[in-house]
Amino acid sequence: MPDATDDIRLRGGLHIAQPETGYRFSIDALILAHHVTPAPDDRIVDIGTGCGIIPMLLSRRYPEAYILGVELQPELARIAEANIAANHMAGRIRVVEKNIQMVSVSETGQVPIITCNPPHIPKTGGRISPNSQMAIARQEIRMSVKTLADSASRLLLPKGRLFTIYPASRLTEVLLRLREAGLEPKHIRTIHFKSDTPARRIVIQAVKHGQPGVEMAPPLFIHAPDGTYTPEAQAIMNPGNYDHS
């Protein structure tokens, strides 16, 4: 296991190590994984896999799926590989240390599902973190919305689906970039802290060469009026072997 890691254990026995001072996954990764709906034996590519959290969550629910995690930061790629081995998922998940723009279709084949919890902050959107690992993971230094859309379109099968999550404030930009890349937004869900607060995040499912027409799902509220977590938020934050549908 690489140095300087801190361990957590999620419900269901999933053991996760991640950097103590570098990039650590947030609830965004858990929310995204909660909304991914592959067929049981689909092939999945997770772009920017970090410590491997999304592939491992999906592998718990869909043990017949084969998942490729793509991570351009060497330390995070090594941590992801160690996490996958520690959770006995090496036969179901593989990690490649590479920029997604350099991953060819010949390496992956065209796949039915791509997931990505991308950098959320535009490169010009504020002070860049002095921690390079966190900066690359959080700000669009190495991957923009356009990079994600173009890479997903290249690697997806026709009618394949991209699942991603962004700040709600970037909705218009994200939808435009997806359409430019031939990915039709088909399903959008807004994420709110409470029922009386504006949306903070959007989960989007886009289909390669899909027909126009989008479904707006009921919103997800993280907190009930009394400040406690809603039942769905509790399931998201404590994932185990559950059926989220």
C-alpha atoms less than 13 angstroms from C-alpha of 175 in its C-beta half-sphere: 14
Q: Which range of residues forms the domain containing residue 111?
A: 26-237
- pLDDT band of residue 176 (cuts 50, 70, 90) is very high
Residues of the chain with pLDDT > 90, as a percent, come to 75
Over residues 5-22, the pLDDT tens digits come to: 667 767 667 889 988 878
Q: Tokens for 44, please give them.
A: 């999945």
In this prediction, residue 61 carries a pLDDT of 92
Answer yes or no: is 1 within a domain.
no
- What is the CATH number for 187? 3.40.50.150
Answer yes or no: is 165 within a domain.
yes
- The mean of the pLDDT values for the chain is 90
Q: Tokens for 8, please give them.
A: 């957590």
Answer yes or no: is 130 within a domain.
yes
Angle at 53 between CA 11 and CA 170, to 5 degrees: 115
Answer yes or no: is 7 within a domain.
no
Q: At residue 33, does pLDDT exceed 90?
A: yes
Helices then strands, counting H and E runs in the chain, come out as: 8, 11
Answer yes or no: is 77 within a domain.
yes
In this prediction, residue 130 carries a pLDDT of 77
Answer yes or no: is 216 within a domain.
yes
Query: How many domains is the chain partitioned into structurally?
Result: 1
Over residues 178-223, the pLDDT tens digits come to: 999 999 999 999 999 999 999 999 999 999 999 999 999 999 999 9
Answer yes or no: is 186 within a domain.
yes
State if pTM tops 0.85.
yes
Over residues 92-130, the pLDDT tens digits come to: 999 999 999 999 999 899 999 999 999 988 877 667 777
Answer yes or no: is 4 within a domain.
no
